[in-house]
Amino acid sequence: MITLTAFKWVPPFAQGLVRDLRVRWALEEAGLRYEVKLLADGEKDGEDYRAWQPFGQVPAYEENGLKLFESGAIVLRIADRSENLLPGDPAARARAVEWMFAALNTIEPPIQDLAGIDLFAADQEWAKLRRPSAEAAVRKRLAELAAALGDGPFVDGARFTVGDLMMATVLRILRHTGLVAEQPTLAAWLSRCESRPAFQRALAGQMAAFADG
């Protein structure tokens, strides 16, 4: 059995964005059964959980005794088990992983920088001074991403892969802005990703936990 950890509650601005969503989506795309362990307030700091996830974050993942943390590592583990996420052709697999790492290493850092300013420090003077350059950095990356995507339906052509999954979850962090909408190609691509039944099931599962909490 696969066990995934998630928070029982987060503030409204984070609901639908917490990184266990990436893992839920991958599991749904792969058709793998799993259960979710919800962490109540304070549990992330417990000794047992820190032995599993040393930084006290989510998600953490257990599969038949194998324990992992970090959403990228977990999603890659799941993708290795399903051609729904990683193609069988070695070159296509490599490109899918390439896009996954591009999402985490090239696109996400400037987006997280901007989101941190907007969501946690918007009223502070340093943030007001920093925000224009942070937004410019995001716009630059989004324009580059749109150019790379071109006319293809997905990041590596005709089929959805783990690269699309990870990139879509990163771009969703910008939902409090209109920056993705400024790039019609990206907006259409993100809509295609979010309309997938597996994503809708994953999102519903995360949101249901918050409603119950």
Residue 4 phi/psi, 5-degree rounding, is -120, 135
Helix (H, G, I), strand (E, B) or coil at 106: helix
Contact 174, 180 (CB under 8 A): yes
Residue 213 confidence (pLDDT): 60
Helix (H, G, I), strand (E, B) or coil at 173: helix
Residue 46 confidence (pLDDT): 94
Q: State the pTM of this model.
A: 0.96
Query: pLDDT under 50 in the chain at which residues?
Result: none
DSSP class of residue 107? Answer: I
Residue 62 confidence (pLDDT): 98
Q: Hey, what domains does the chain have and what are their CATH numbers?
A: 2-84 (3.40.30.10), 90-197 (1.20.1050.10)
- 56: phi > 0 → left, psi -120 to 50 → alpha, else beta; which? left
